[in-house]
Structure 1
Amino acid sequence: MSAGATSVGASTLEGFRASVRSWCRDHIPADWRRAQTDVPDDEFVRFQKSWFQELRGAGFAVPHWPEEWGGGMSVAEQVVLYQELAAHDAPRLVLPFVSIHHAASTLLAAGTDEQRNRHLPAILDGEIWCQGFSEPGAGSDMAALATSARKDGDVYIVNGQKLWASGALYADRCLLLARTDPDAPKRKGISYFLMDMRTPGVEVRPIRQATGEAHFCEIFLNDVAIPATNLVGPENEGWRVAQETLGAERGMTMLELTERLSHGGFRLLVDLCTRPGPDGTTPLDDTRVADRLTTLEIELTGLRALVTDFVAANRPGPADASIVKLYYSELLQRMTDFGTEIAGLAAHTDLRKPQSSGWESGAWMLDFIGSWEWTIPGGTSEIQRTIIGERGLGLPREPTGHR
């Protein structure tokens, strides 16, 4: 999936920016942070679905989709859109994130016409997806997954367990990887499925975190029957299809996340550093704080340029997606770590944050804890460096018998 390729003139872009600003002033709920703090799950789901439809009505919900499916914005327009949403402190689309990015990119790149026509309109109407990739014994090494799918007539019978499935408690569908050929090499015997979460045999258990949240879930699969028409791509080619899903996580999603970090998270960090203490001084009066803040701003400028070039490229390099993920995730970690340090002891006792915020909410300790979600899942930083070294720099491959 790629953004619209049409170039946009500067005057047109400024006109678009003005229209987005006007829309933000009229439509962003002024008290959403308070309203989304300490709310029950059903209220969070209701708010997220309502906010998605608000954005959809303006044409802002899926700007990265092709025009025929309700998108078609150029990269430059998307940058402006995400800048203004962040600058106006708009809620994030947390719940539909997998649906509009991972599921859509997979369907557009590898799905059948029937699958696209069935699921893309459903996603626009509010269908929620989760991702069933990781397992207890296959986290960063996704190719080690053991969940099995056995062909039985016109269905596949699936058994196994998935772990760290974000939002699975509220999901209608699941992007599922399962092993269809146990005798094939690790990456050769995996298939990719679209699973209805209401199918008999699917059990979802939330994982309660130390912070009280239950963002992640376990999914248990016991003789779950998935129609063969829900296979994405050829049987045993699921590893290749999964790269489309992961490419979305490190592609168009990064455009939004980077602008959010630059225009939302960094603004909150500057506000924190310029807040007077009891003695009237601010953290920014310390030259060491000023130096670190300046360094982060420079790094954010580099990240924005890197991501914009990456999503605009027709043929990204073999390691470009890994470079983007590594850069963003570790910068997010450094920023939230610095925010926690400046916020002091108060940040360590604040266990509340708006549910519809992102990884840069200003609840610094919780944001820092959440930042580890980016340096571990979807390939750890160590794995990303291996990919960069081998595929990007042409260094010798690590000796292993499992590739």
Structure 2
Amino acid sequence: MTEDIDAFREHVRRWCAEHVPTDWRAAQTGVSDDEYVRFQKSWFAELHSAGFAVPHWPPEWGGGMSVAEQIVLYSELAAHDAPRLVLAFVGIHHAASTLLAAGTEDQRRRHLPAILDGEIWVQGFSEPEAGSDLAALRTTARRAGDEFVVNGQKVWASGGLHADWCLLLARTDPDAKKRHGISYFLMDMTSPGIEVRPIRQATGESHFCEVFLNDVRIPAANLVGPENKGWQVAQETLGAERGMTMLELAERLGNAGFRWLVAECERAGVLTDSLVADRLAQFEIEITGLRGLCRELVEGRSDGPADASVVKLFYSELLQRLTDFGAEISGLAGHTVLAKPISSGWESGAWVLDFIGSWEWTIPGGASEIQRTIIGERGLGLPREPAGA
């Protein structure tokens, strides 16, 4: 196995040396939306042609890599400063995990090959009054023959402006208890009645969108799982966000984020400072621990009811501390950097912007407070938190 992994690592290294574009950071800074989409789809096609786009999928759908091979792949891509698959992220992780776990065979055959051909997905979960308390969502889906008529609003839909399809949660039984009347749909984003509005952020980016739904018709065949059982299906989506995706992100944090941080300390002339060295050592220890947790989770050796929440909480808060320290070390010069490569990860080396972006991970997908509640109640068996008034 060691020889096989070493040979695979050498294969990935050679491929990266030949295929990772050396100028992508400059080319993807301050770029138009159209150029961003073109680049992301081109890079995805490049990875797909090499068999590197969806290593975590089952072999019959184009994946089949062992966890050890995935770790090698993600670490080498990060070490060679490869762009991230930002636009395809929801499709290859959240949509695929949901379809594989709860979709019909027809739904899988329709969408999994299409994702490999560049189909872009967005997640339509959060609403203005239903963020951390997702079960409070108000978007409705009313049955009308072999269709559902949907009305409502979604917010914080990352990449919604470019999406072809949406993973949508809507309430199909208004009289049921909060989690028991929700259904899960696949929504075609070209359907009449959908309006997508970008949300301009303080940094100048428009990564998030609002999605308004006015009498949108969704075929009943696009229902995932049983009607009114969408909450259970959504756990597969959230499980992917808190679990499988972390394997890639942990390797990128260790092979790109930490490397950028050490280089920043060297540029600032503080690498030999004992306090800085202590912080760097602590980060390296934590990253090593995160990698171990991710591997155990993905390999199934860690099967506790709150393990995915432990990993998500650990990663998101470690990312926030690491980028915060980078912003501190970079000083005033780092605070004047106003743009970062749009196809980079959350650790681009533009430290202030990276730190702002790190809050994306401590809030969406279940805020840190929500993760701690899950860990306490499901993992440690503590009494349930009292319901609010």
TM-score, normalized by the shorter chain, greater than 0.5: yes
- Tell me, yes or no, if structure 1 residue 368 matches structure 2 residue 360: no
Between the aligned residues of both structures, percent identity stands at: 76
Deviation at 1:315, TM superposition (A): 6.4
Write the letter of the residue equivalent to 1:390: E
**Are 2:138 and 2:170, in contact at CA under 8 Å, matched by a contact in 1?**
yes
**Structure 1 partner of 2:181:** 189
- Tell me, yes or no, if structure 1 residue 16 matches structure 2 residue 16: no
1:221-251 Cα deviation digits (max 9, x unpaired): 0000000000000000000000000111112
Deviation at 1:401, TM superposition (A): 7.4
Deviation at 1:165, TM superposition (A): 0.2
**Are 2:93 and 2:241, in contact at CA under 8 Å, matched by a contact in 1?**
yes
**Are 2:242 and 2:365, in contact at CA under 8 Å, matched by a contact in 1?**
no
- Tell me, yes or no, if structure 1 residue 310 matches structure 2 residue 315: no
Task: Give the alignment's Cα RMSD to 1 decimal.
Answer: 1.0
User: Paired residue for 1:98, among 90, 100, 106?
Assistant: 90
Aligned ranges 1:3-402 → 2 under 5 Å: 9-275=1-267, 277=268, 282-313=269-300, 316-400=303-387
**Are 2:194 and 2:213, in contact at CA under 8 Å, matched by a contact in 1?**
yes
Write the letter of the residue equivalent to 1:378: G
Deviation at 1:339, TM superposition (A): 0.2
Deviation at 1:314, TM superposition (A): 6.0
Query: Counterpart of 2:326 in 1: which secondary structure?
Result: helix
* Separation in structure 1 between the aligned mates of residue 245 and residue 347 of structure 2, nearest angstrom: 15
* Separation in structure 1 between the aligned mates of residue 33 and residue 347 of structure 2, nearest angstrom: 21
Deviation at 1:59, TM superposition (A): 0.3
* Separation in structure 1 between the aligned mates of residue 372 and residue 159 of structure 2, nearest angstrom: 28
Write the letter of the residue equivalent to 1:238: G
1:47-102 Cα deviation digits (max 9, x unpaired): 00000000000000000000001000000000000010000000000000000000
Write the letter of the residue equivalent to 2:271: L
Deviation at 1:169, TM superposition (A): 0.2
- Unaligned 5+ segments in structure 1 are 1-8
Deviation at 1:274, TM superposition (A): 1.1
Query: Counterpart of 1:318 in 2: which secondary structure?
Result: coil
* Separation in structure 1 between the aligned mates of residue 387 and residue 137 of structure 2, nearest angstrom: 17
Q: How many residues align?
A: 389
Query: Counterpart of 1:222 in 2: which secondary structure?
Result: strand
* Separation in structure 1 between the aligned mates of residue 365 and residue 303 of structure 2, nearest angstrom: 19
Give the TM-score normalised by structure 2. Answer: 0.99
* Separation in structure 2 between the aligned mates of residue 217 and residue 294 of structure 1, nearest angstrom: 39
Query: Counterpart of 1:274 in 2: which secondary structure?
Result: helix
